[in-house]
């Protein structure tokens, strides 16, 4: 499947997304499977399909699972930020070792430029079919996906603040106490 389901999970459920591919990746996949398919052991292909076709209610369930997952990781004294920092560090070390300064920069310009171009096209009314709910949903999903990629580019070049993540966690906690969702 060409759909990058893990990227969508990282956007909706950052704690689970951070854990994917790391030492607690199995627990992360299990949390996704439970949230979207109500079973702990779905194969990756089934999870990818469920993520690609997730309803707003399922995405909300995934967000709730992410909050529960983050609590569980704190209870187990597992530092997801350290895991994420190690992942970023290995990517930067790889880039330094290869000496390739052109490719990452070209990709960064293409991703950020593509995002800005897509947003401009939509705002300027250059996208036909936006009145069709299916087309509008697909366009919104596409912009959200490219937006997440642009955010990754900016985080890579300028860093991502742990304080920002803490702020988001605090806002999520306050929203949960009020019975709201962000």
User: pLDDT of 18-53, one tens digit each?
Assistant: 788 777 788 888 999 989 998 988 888 898 898 888
Burial classification of residue 2, based on how many CB atoms lie within 10 Å of its CB (0-12 exposed, 13-18 middle, 19 or more buried)? exposed
Q: E strands, the chain, where?
A: none
Portion of the chain with pLDDT greater than 70, in percent:
77
Of 109 and 177, the structure prediction assigns the larger pLDDT to: 109
User: For the residues 142-164, what does the mean pLDDT come to?
Assistant: 76
Summary mean pLDDT of the chain = 79
Of 137 and 68, the structure prediction assigns the larger pLDDT to: 68
pLDDT for residue 3? 66
- The predicted-structure confidence for 91-105, as pLDDT tens digits, reads as follows 777 777 888 888 888
10 confidence band (pLDDT: 50, 70, 90): confident
The Cα–Cα gap between 18 and 164 comes to 15
16 confidence band (pLDDT: 50, 70, 90): confident
The Cα–Cα gap between 106 and 84 comes to 24
- Backbone φ, ψ for residue 126 (5° rounding): -85, -5
pLDDT for residue 109? 92
pTM for the whole structure? 0.46
């Amino acid at each position: 499947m060409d759909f990058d389901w893990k990227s969508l999970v990282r956007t909706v459920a950052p704690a689970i997304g951070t854990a994917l591919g790391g030492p607690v990746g199995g627990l992360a996949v299990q949390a996704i499977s439970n949230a979207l398919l109500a079973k702990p052991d779905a194969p990756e292909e089934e999870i990818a399909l469920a993520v690609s076709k997730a309803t707003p209610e399922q995405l909300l369930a995934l967000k709730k699972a992410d909050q529960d997952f983050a609590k569980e990781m704190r209870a187990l004294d597992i530092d997801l930020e350290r895991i994420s920092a190690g992942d970023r560090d290995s990517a930067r070390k790889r880039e330094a070792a290869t000496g390739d300064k052109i490719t990452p920069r070209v990709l960064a310009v293409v991703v950020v430029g593509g995002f800005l171009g897509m947003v401009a096209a939509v705002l300027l009314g250059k996208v036909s079919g936006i009145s069709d709910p299916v087309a509008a949903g697909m366009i919104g999903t596409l912009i959200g996906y490219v937006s997440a990629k642009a955010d990754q580019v900016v985080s890579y070049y300028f860093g991502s603040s742990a304080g920002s993540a803490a702020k988001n966690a605090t806002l999520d906690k306050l929203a949960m106490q009020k019975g709201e969702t962000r």
